[in-house]
Amino acid sequence: MDDVIYGTLLAICASNSRCEETEAVFQKMKEGGFSPNIFHYSSLLNAYSVAGNYAKADGLVNDMKSAGLVLNKVILTTLLKAYVRGGLFEKSRELLVELEESGYAQNEMPYCLLMDGLAKARQILEAKSVFDEMEKKSVKYGILNQDLFNRLTLFLMYTDGYSHSIMISAFCRSGLMEEAKTLARDFEARYDKYDLVMLNTLLRAYCKAGEMESVMQMMRKMDELQISPDWNTFHILVKYYCKERLYQLAYRTMVDMHSKGHQPDEITLPFLHHFCIVNFLHSLP
């Protein structure tokens, strides 16, 4: 095998979150007399970052420095992902500053990595401060480059306006419905590009806030954009309709959900049972 084949194997193992296999290929490559380049190191680093193994990620970056390799945007952003996954938020912040000073934080991806990690760790105020910092600096939305996008979307469900999606979801999880609704309206006022992930995020925010008109508006927008609802969309709607005691709508949504090949789960199924019981009781003389 040559270094190109090794590079391909490393990329495949890393992209499938096979950390041990990636390590084994990397070691075999070195034992075969090949000197790893920036792309080989990058694949192994990505495997460590997906696993949240910041210690090995740090060690690998030190090896790269010793080998005289220059740490580029991809390497530093992937290292940031390792720190975030490992819960090293202070170290993540320090690295984000380094990225900014190097001109590698002109797009939203590094901020989104840290914001998403903080939000999932229930550090909502800290996540919002990163969001506010990004807004203040007028950071560009969108991906850095296709290679980095491919590597980092192993961690993120990336979408246009992802920073908004992160914070809206975080507010919803924490029961901060007014904040979620305000940010959802801010997104709608500023952007006219939607995808299914963003629409589901907005839909969840409006459902949890009890904003019926906004819920209907999101559904109309899905129709206008010819975006097909997924399992998550149906799940959000069924819960909302049952909460509002709109059982006929909940039932029709379940029927539509089933017709499109989506099955109810342990959460939505009891709603259907409840609807049947309510209808039965109403039918009694």
Last residue of a domain, one of 86, 104, 122: 104
Query: Do 119 and 16 reside in the same domain of the chain?
Result: no
Residue 33 token pair: 């007399």
Residue 75 token pair: 């390497």
Which residue reads 């190191």 in tokens? 41
Give a yes or no: residue 197 inside a domain: yes
Residues facing residue 140 across a β-bridge = 107
Query: Do 18 and 60 reside in the same domain of the chain?
Result: yes
Give a yes or no: residue 220 inside a domain: yes
Residues facing residue 107 across a β-bridge = 140
Give the closest residue to 19 by CA, choosing from 55, 45, 58.
45
The backbone torsions φ and ψ at residue 56, rounded to the nearest 5 degrees and listed phi first, read: -70, -35
Give a yes or no: residue 234 inside a domain: no
pLDDT at site 27: 94
Query: Do 122 and 189 reside in the same domain of the chain?
Result: yes
Query: Do 207 and 274 reside in the same domain of the chain?
Result: no
Report DSSP letters for the chain, one per residue.
--HHHHHHHHHHHHHTT-HHHHHHHHHHHHHTTPPP-HHHHHHHHHHHHHHT-HHHHHHHHHHHHHTT----HHHHHHHHHHHHHTT-HHHHHHHHHHHHHTT--SBSHHHHHHHHHHHHTT-HHHHHHHHHHHHHTTPBPS-S-HHHHHHHTTT----TTHHHHHHHHHHHHTT-HHHHHHHHHHHHHH-----HHHHHHHHHHHHHHT-HHHHHHHHHHHHHTTPPP-HHHHHHHHHHHHHTT-HHHHHHHHHHHHHTTPPP-TTHHHHHHHHHHHHHHHH--
Query: Do 111 and 86 reside in the same domain of the chain?
Result: no
Instruction: Tell me which residue range forms the domain holding 270.
Output: 240-284
* Angle at alpha carbon of residue 10, lines to 8 and 11, rounded to 5°: 65
* AA identity, residue 232: N
Query: Do 203 and 219 reside in the same domain of the chain?
Result: yes
Last residue of a domain, one of 104, 121, 138: 104
Give the closest residue to 221 by CA, choosing from 201, 251, 245, 247.
201
Conformational region of residue 149, where left means phi above 0, alpha means psi within -120 to 50, and beta covers everything else: alpha
The size of the chain, in residues, is 285
Residue by residue, pLDDT tens for the chain (285 residues) are 788 898 999 999 998 889 999 999 999 999 999 999 999 999 999 999 998 899 999 999 999 999 999 999 999 999 999 999 999 999 999 999 999 999 988 888 899 999 999 999 999 999 999 999 988 888 876 544 444 444 444 434 444 578 888 999 899 888 888 898 888 888 888 777 778 888 888 898 889 888 888 889 888 988 888 888 999 899 899 888 888 888 788 888 888 888 888 876 666 666 555 655 555 445 545
Query: Do 81 and 136 reside in the same domain of the chain?
Result: no
Last residue of a domain, one of 71, 104, 137: 104
User: How many domains does the chain fold into?
Assistant: 3
